[in-house]
A and B are shown apart, each in its own frame.
Chain A
Amino acid sequence: MEYFLTEEQKTIKSLARKIAEERVLPVRAELDEKEEFPWAIIRDLADADMFRVFVPEEYEGLGGGCLELCLVVEELSRVCGGVAATYAVNALGSYTLIEYGTEEQKKRYLPDIAAGKKLTAFAISEATAGSDASAIRMTAEKVEGGYRLNGTKQFITNAGEAELYTVIVLTDPSRGARGASAILVEKGTSGFTFGKEEKKMGIRASVTRELIFRNCLVPEENLIGREGMGFIQAMRLFDRSRPGIGAQAVGIAQGALEAAVDYAQQRIQFGQPIISLPVVQDMLAEMAIQVEAARALVYAAARTVDSGARKITEESAMAKVFASDVAMKVTTDAVQVCGGTGYMKDYPVEKMMRDAKITQIYEGANQILRNAIAVELRKRKARTE
């Protein structure tokens, strides 16, 4: 399919593929097995300027948008969804700063993020606040010299490894979500520690931990934007970042499709390669259609985000929901096509099936996002009546 990518976008995509094939592929099974954080690959991505992609040019980035980020995430995911998550979360952890940060804050942090010297993370989820992200309880009390943070964030990607955390906290608990604010916390701040490492079904090369805050004091200038804007900032962030989850899903599905085609071509049963069997052909063709449709939707949503359009909730939710459902379906079918071999850990498709699952859950479970899309449909209907 012709997606009319610019020369620069093609370069980004092909270099990301090269890194994925040369540096990620040889170690992906081991990273998955050992649940190891992929530091060596992070270094390679940094050397190749991949962390510059999503940072504005004024801060030593390359000034790419949502689409450029999606291209990198897709190519990394084609080989390993876990490495891709580790990379992509850096954009998630930087957007709020990029969008709402002061010149001083940006100058202070973004060049190191662009160089890949500092990894970032974003934390909204808590034990009580999953799908209902507005139910956060963590507090930031205004005190002499800044904010005192108390509470625990749950399921935070890159926790422990990242240097910089954008944390959504209640600066005014009496106002609920309207009292939420985004605050930057650096690793090493006293009173800020990490909980146990979660053991996961998939994306096991990425790390997921709790952030624990006990009377953690951060200076006032770590507030991003205004007090009370945290929840809105987070929702705007997810509108922009969801196509990235879609891209992760497309990449995983693409990898599974390729593995299934390879296998079907090599596997001889009943005296012929199984790819000659109409049922297998039918499955592979359906997988290919689904992957391409998902890719087209993800790129279109990413371009909508990059167009600067204000209302993008629907488009980005559609891309995430559709692509993640495709990834689950396609990876499951890939295991089916590969039969018993596909079920074994020596073959990559079982990992892809495990990796695909998370894309239906995080950054808004697909049910929640379908709700959101339906809400928009109803609003539009109401406006025309």
Chain B
Amino acid sequence: MNVVVCLKQVPGTTQVKIDPETNTLIRQGIENIINPFDTYAIEEGVRLRERFGGKVTAISMGPPQAETALKEAISLGADEGILLSDPAFAGADTWATSCTLFMALRKLEKYDLIICGRQTLDGDTGQVGPQLAEMLALPFIAYVSQIEEVADGEMRVRRMVEDGYEIMESSLPTVLTVVKEINTPRLPSLRGIARSKSASIPVWGVEELNADPDKVGLSGSFTRVVRIFSPQRVCRGEIFQGDVEDQVDCLISRLKDDGFL
């Protein structure tokens, strides 16, 4: 079973600060890590390979330093990594990112499964998985919490929904996004680290992907970032007076006034 895992390198914190002057993320002193949601995708890929053989290919679009994320994926059990990197890819929104991944997957011949994390820590949109499936014209299942069975070119999975779970079946190849409930990612191994150190990570750019420059990076993006700012934190509390019933009445009328009820 050949599995492709899509992963992104992100700043290792949810507490990113924004520089008020330039309106960009302050990245100083923040270590880059594999998007935590993607570590479940890697682990699931590695487990499937351990059960069924084949290989796990990790791919990532990002700046040259994203190579370290791919090397880390190898230390966690992936067989190989491919970096999609080109100055022309800069400024990509989710659509342009999915497009770039799509072009890379077109170039990769044989795969049975594509696994993505449910969303990224920094962008937080959860769109790349479904967009990629759409572009590849493959089935797609979001929020997978368990792979129950893989047999005869099909797979049965559980996906989390708000009030429980659903069991779905899909033909292969298929695209999944996975949630953290699916597994506990392993730590790197010494042999994995040794392999990752000697692994060479091919870099595919516009040329290698035979990409239309208008479909990637900023020019391929529909989204325009107009302004980035930290929302003002306004916390105002109000304490209702009187006995319990008065307080409840006050609360209800306030909720109605504010349109919550």
Chain A residues near B (Cβ < 8 Å): 8, 11-12, 15, 18-19, 22-23, 44, 47-50, 52-53, 62
Q: Quick one: CB contact mask for B180-195 with A, threshold 8 Å, 1 for yes?
A: 0000001111111110
- Report the separation of the CA atoms of residues A15 and B192 in the bound assembly, to the nearest whole angstrom: 11
Interface residue from A23, A44, A52 paired with B190 (Cβ < 8 Å): A52
17 other A-B residue contacts (CB within 8 Å) besides A47-B186, A47-B187, A48-B190: A11-B190, A12-B190, A15-B188, A15-B190, A18-B188, A22-B187, A23-B187, A44-B187, A47-B189, A48-B186, A48-B188, A49-B191, A49-B192, A50-B190, A52-B190, A52-B191, A62-B191
Chain B 190-207, CB-CB to A under 8 Å as 1, else 0, gives 111110000000000000
Q: List 14 A-B contacts (CB under 8 A).
A: A8-B194, A11-B193, A11-B194, A12-B190, A15-B187, A15-B188, A19-B187, A22-B187, A23-B187, A47-B187, A49-B192, A50-B190, A53-B190, A62-B191
- Centre residue among B189, B190, B191, B194 by max chain A CB count within 10 A: B190
* A49 to B190 Cα, complex, angstroms: 6
Contact with A along B153-193 (1 / 0, CB 8 A): 00000000000000000000000000000000011111111
Q: Which 8 A-B pairs have the closest CB atoms?
A: A49-B190, A49-B189, A48-B189, A47-B186, A49-B191, A48-B187, A11-B193, A19-B187
| Residues in chain B near residue A48, CB distance under 8 A | 186-190
Bound complex: CA of A336 vs CA of B250, how far in Å?
56
Give chain B's interface residues, CB within 8 Å of chain A.
186-194
Looking at the assembled complex, report how far the CB atom of A38 sits from the nearest CB atom of chain B, in whole angstroms. 15
Residue of A11, A52, A62 with highest tally of chain B CB at under 10 A: A11
Residues of A within 8 A of B186 (CB): 44, 47-48
Q: List A contacts of B190 (CB < 8 A).
A: 11-12, 15, 48-50, 52-53, 62
Task: Please measure, in the bound complex, the distance between the C-alpha atom of A48 and the C-alpha atom of B193, giving whole angstroms.
Answer: 10
Q: Complex formed: what's the CA distance from A11 to B188 in Å?
A: 11
Please, which residue of chain B has its CB at the minimum distance from the CB of A23? B187
- Separation in Å of the B36 CB from the closest CB of chain A? 13
Contacts of B189 in A (CB 8 A): 47-49
State the CA gap A8–B191 with chains docked (Å). Answer: 11
- B residues in contact with A11, CB < 8 Å: 190, 193-194
- Nearest A residue (CB) for B191: A49
CA distance A330 to B193 in the complex (A): 35
Q: Which residues of B contact A50 (CB under 8 A)?
A: 190
- How far does the alpha carbon of A53 sit from the alpha carbon of B190 in the complex, in Å? 9
Complex Cα distance, B190 from A12, in Å, reads 7
Residues in B whose Cβ lies below 8 Å from that of A15: 187-188, 190, 193
B40 to chain A, nearest CB (A): 16
Instruction: Give the distance in Å from the alpha carbon of A53 to the alpha carbon of B187 in the complex.
Output: 16
Chain A residues within 8 Å of B194, by CB: 8, 11
B168 to chain A, nearest CB (A): 30
How far apart sit A206 and B55, CA to CA, in the bound complex (Å)?
A: 38
Q: Which chain A residues border B191 with CB–CB below 8 Å?
A: 49, 52, 62
CA distance A23 to B193 in the complex (A): 19
The residue from A8, A18, A52, A62 contacting B187, defined by CB atoms under 8 A apart: A18
B37 CB to closest chain A CB (Å) equals: 18
Give the complex CA separation of A53 and B191 in angstroms: 10
- The interface residues of chain B lying within 8 Å CB-to-CB of A44 are 186-187
- CA distance in complex: A53, B193 (Å): 14
Chain B residues closer than 8 Å to A49, beta-carbon distance: 189-192
CB distance from B236 to the nearest CB of A (A): 33
> Roughly how many angstroms separate A18 CA and B186 CA in the complex, as a whole number?
12
A18 to B76, CA, bound (A): 14
Q: What separation, in Å, do the CA atoms of A18 and B188 have in the docked complex?
A: 9
Contacts of B187 on A, CB cut-off 8 Å? 15, 18-19, 22-23, 44, 47-48
Distance in angstroms from B50 CB to nearest chain A CB is 11
Q: How far is the CB of B111 from chain A (nearest CB, A)?
A: 26
Q: How far is the CB of B29 from chain A (nearest CB, A)?
A: 20
Residues of A close to B193: CB separation below 8 A = 11, 15
CA A171 – CA B130 in complex, angstroms? 70
Closest to A18 in B: B187
Q: Which residues of B contact A12 (CB under 8 A)?
A: 190
